Chains A and B, each alone.
Chain A
Amino acid sequence: MSRVENVGAEKEVRREKRHGGHGKMGHHGGRGCKKSSESLKPGSLAYIWHSISHNKGAVMGMVLIVLIVLLSVLSPYLCRWGYAELDVLNAKSGPSLMHLLGCDELGRDLLSRVLYGARYTLYIGLAATVLSAVIGVTLGAIAGYFGGLVDSCVMRFLDVFQAFPQLILAMAFCAVFGSGLNNCVAALGLTGIAGFARLMRANILQIRDMEYIEASVSINCPTRKIITGHIIPNAVSPIIVEIAMSISRNGLASSSLSFLGLGVQPPYPEWGAMLAGARNHIRDCPHMVIVPGVFIVICVLSFNLIGDALRDALDPKLKK
């Protein structure tokens, strides 16, 4: 029995690695920190910070995100128009001094709507990621550490999650929970569990056979302490990278769901919902289609850049 399990486990690890290969090449800017990072210990916070702050992409990503957050929070004070304020005379007008990015079909100012709408994307991205990371990492850790029957049960449970394309699973949850902001968070959060759990399990399987685990077991260290004190700290770096990537994925998915009318509903300026409204006016006001999309790209790109930089910083082995 044990051999079969192990073969399966090895395959799993290999498979995770293969899937993880997705962003491996994101080592742009990694060269910049070679000179002085030699003196820092890989894995230390100082090293990680040094590596990230010398990565142009990551710095740009962080600046953009801080900017978006600030603008979004301050938008009621900065913008001349409220996000729901109507200026009927200028309905469907293109960019002008009065309305920097133009107006939508009801004469609402696109700039203030887009800035206000950032909070939905950021909130859904963050909250859904936290939800799936907490549940997924716990499940994966349990499965990986205990192995055997527990592992099989958890993995079969996850198989059910992975029996759907991601978007379809999110749609299914949306159908169950109904539309709305927090229901969208729940739907995307549940959808992401399997990814985190599999990643964590693969990490644990690698760490489980290390000598320091054997050592702590032999000195009768309690299981809970081995998991929290030894395994999690060692398994955490891929998870951190995955969190950054997952925020951007969830941001994208939330706009897709809202576009389909399953997430945040139209009167609120969620970017996907704005695009859904713009679709009917694509002929006469193309700026309504372009503006929210550009903001989606900027937001998602920033998190992706940070994720790539984190991957380089946390896993020096991948850099070459």
Chain B
Amino acid sequence: MIRYVVKRLVILIPTLLVVAIIMFTLMDFVPGDPAVIALGSGNHTQEEIELKRESMGLNKPYITRLGEYIGNLVFHFDFGTSIVDGTQIKTAISDRFPNTLKIAIGSILVTIIVGLPLGIRTAVRANTWEDKIALFVTLLLDCMPSFWVGLLLVLLFALKLGWFPSSGVGGLKYFVLPVIANSLGGGLAGFTRQTRASMLEVIRSDLVTMARSKGLSEREVIYGHALPNALIPIITIVGMRFGQMLGGATIIEVIFSIPGLGPYLVNGIGSQDYTVVTGGIIFIAFAFAIIMLLTDLVYAFVDPRIKAQYVARNRKGGRKDE
């Protein structure tokens, strides 16, 4: 197990470093002089611009700036300051990320609570009318952009019925519509179909035939034998969906005017605030990577086949054929 964790970390850390380097480099080559953007609109003399460049450290060679940026990032988890308004990006992110995370966690919970039983049921009753209706609905949901689902929800539940607020943050009820929109438009359908596929694969496998031939009741066969086996791949799917929903939350936040990472990034791109964009995107990559790492670890922990690969290798002195 420990070997597996170490191996995953060994792959993860350089990847994140490269992500940071590439983001910094890309944003560095984007047309537009950060000093001019920092000075804001209006005419500026060449001297003013030069002074600003000097104070922002833009006159140092690229390599030095990259080194400083990565250094600050690794040792202080510091993303620098915004070009446009000079605020600390780290503070802004730590203020805003909890909102994004709340939406993502809420959406994945809704997705699991609704999608898992639905997927299992449709697999058990494959090709019945229930299954066909569920397939049709998920097919349709899969084609709806999450932001449109969000707008429709606002139209119905906020403006027509007035049950939930249409924007802003506050108590729990402010999160109801965003969470439903993100889950309906961003993965509930896919998750249900994947659960169904995974379950169906197990139901058609020999182990279920075996369980049936032992004379177990259908209930025991499905919940005692088929489900635990089907759940293993579903863990990975949950992890992937969670990562996706973190991305999807950004667009949902824009619709519901929730001060999360989404509006921060979109405004950053709009106002050419490159440090904000770089910082925000690197941060999301970090969060995403951690989710994926946790998923893989849980997966490895649950799936005896992966554990066995490492255990067996240790026992046999796996260096034999390396």
Q: Are B143 and A176 in contact (CB under 8 A)?
A: no
Give every chain A residue within 8 A of B155 (Cβ-Cβ). 282, 286, 289
- Tell which of B22, B139, B266 touches A260, judged by Cβ atoms closer than 8 Å: B266
A15 to B14, CA, bound (A): 22
Nearest-neighbor residue (CB-CB) of B195 within chain A: A21
In the complex, what distance in Å separates the CA atom of A11 from the CA atom of B318?
Answer: 18
Please give, as numbers and ranges, the residues of chain A lying within 8 Å of B233 by CB-CB distance. Answer: 18, 21
A305 to B197, CA, bound (A): 17
Q: Are A167 and B30 in contact (CB under 8 A)?
A: no
Residues A293 and B201 in contact in the complex (CB < 8 Å), given A3-B322, A21-B233, A25-B193: no
Q: Is B193 within 8 A of A262, CB to CB?
A: no
Considering the chains assembled together, what is the distance between the CA atoms of A171 and B246 in angstroms?
14
B142 beta carbon closer than 8 Å to chain A = yes
Q: Of residues 240 to 287 in B, which have CB atoms within 8 Å of A's CB atoms?
A: 240, 243-244, 246-248, 250-251, 254-255, 265-266, 268-270, 274, 277, 281, 284-285
B247 and A175 within 8 A (CB): no
From 261 to 308 in chain A, residues with beta carbon under 8 angstroms from any chain B beta carbon are: 261-262, 272, 275, 278-279, 282-283, 286, 289-290, 293, 296-297, 300-301, 304-305
- Give chain B residues whose Cβ lies under 8 Å from the Cβ of A174: 269
Q: Indicate with 1 or 0, residue by residue over B89-110, a CB within 8 angstroms of chain A CB atoms.
A: 0000000000000000000000
Q: Is B175 an interface residue (CB 8 A)?
A: no
Give the segment of A78-86, A155-163, A309-317 that binds chain B.
A155-163
Is B229 close to A, CB under 8 A? no
Nearest chain B CB to A13's CB is how many angstroms away? 13
Residues in A with CB closer than 8 Å to B164 are: none
**CB closest chain-A residue, reference B270:** A261
Select one of A22, A167, A260, A289 contacting B152, CB under 8 A.
A289
A293 touches B196 (CB 8 A): no
Q: For A320, what are the chain B residues with a Cβ–Cβ distance below 8 Å?
A: 204
Name B322's contact: one of A1, A159, A255, A293 (CB within 8 Å): A1
Q: Across the interface, which residues of A come within 8 angstroms of B248, CB to CB?
A: 165, 167
> A176-B27, A176-B30 known; A165 and B284 CB under 8 Å?
yes
Interface string of B143-162 (1 = CB under 8 A from A): 11111100110110001000
Is the Cβ of B255 less than 8 Å from the Cβ of A279?
Answer: yes
Q: How far is the CB of A211 from chain B (nearest CB, A)?
A: 23
- Are the C-beta atoms of A175 and B197 separated by less than 8 Å? no
**For the complex, is B288 an interface residue (Cβ under 8 Å from A)?**
yes
Q: Is B18 an interface residue (CB 8 A)?
A: yes
Instruction: Report which of B27, B151, B284 forms a contact with A282, defined as CB distance below 8 A.
Output: B151
Which residue of chain A is the closest to B198 with respect to CB atoms? A21
- Chain B: number of interface residues, binned into ranges: 35 or more
Q: Which residues from chain A contact B11 at a C-beta distance below 8 Å?
A: 156, 159
Q: Is the CB of A296 within 8 A of B145?
A: yes
Query: Cβ of A193 < 8 Å from any Cβ of B?
Result: no
Chain A CB within 8 A of B88 CB: no
Q: Which of B151, B266, B288 has the most chain A CB atoms closer than 10 A to its own CB?
A: B151
- A18 to B295 Cα, complex, angstroms: 15
Secondary structure at the A interface, as helix, strand, loop or mixed, is: helix
Inter-chain contact B148/A275, CB cutoff 8 Å: yes
**How far, in whole Å, are A163 and B285 apart by their CA atoms in the complex?**
6
Shortest CB-to-CB span from A53 to chain B, Å, is 20
* Complex Cα gap A304–B321 (Å): 46
Tell me the bound Cα distance from A83 to B306 in angstroms. Answer: 58
Given contacts A256-B147, A293-B144, contact A164 B247 (CB under 8 A): yes
Nearest chain B CB to A35 CB, angstrom units: 19
On chain B, the residues within 8 Å of A24 by CB distance are 197, 200
A28 at the interface (CB under 8 A from B): yes
**Given A1-B322, A25-B193: A261 and B147 within 8 A (CB)?**
no
Q: Kindly list chain A residues whose C-beta atoms are within 8 Å of the C-beta of B231.
A: none
Q: How far is the CB of B179 from chain A (nearest CB, A)?
A: 17
A144-193 interface (Cβ within 8 A of B) = 156, 159-160, 163-168, 171-172, 174-176, 178
B contact residues around A279 at 8 Å (CB)? 151, 255
| A7: interface (CB < 8 Å) | yes
Closest B residue to A261 using CB positions: B270
Chain B CB within 8 A of A4 CB: yes
Q: Is B23 in contact with A297, judged by CB distance below 8 angstroms?
A: no
Decide: A165 and B18 in contact? CB cutoff 8 A.
no
A36 beta carbon closer than 8 Å to chain B: no
A54 to chain B, nearest CB (A): 18
**Is B81 an interface residue, CB under 8 A from the partner?**
no
A175 touches B269 (CB 8 A): yes
A278 to B204, CA, bound (A): 48
Q: Is the CB of B322 within 8 A of A4?
A: yes
- Please tell me if the beta carbons of A282 and B266 are within 8 angstroms of each other in the complex: no
Least distance between A253 CB and chain B CB atoms (Å): 9
* A and B contact pairs by CB, cutoff 8 A, 18 listed: A18-B198, A23-B193, A156-B11, A160-B19, A165-B247, A168-B250, A168-B285, A171-B265, A171-B269, A174-B269, A175-B27, A176-B29, A256-B251, A261-B270, A283-B159, A293-B148, A297-B140, A300-B143
Known: A165-B284, A172-B281. 4 other contacts (CB 8 A): A22-B190, A25-B196, A163-B288, A297-B143
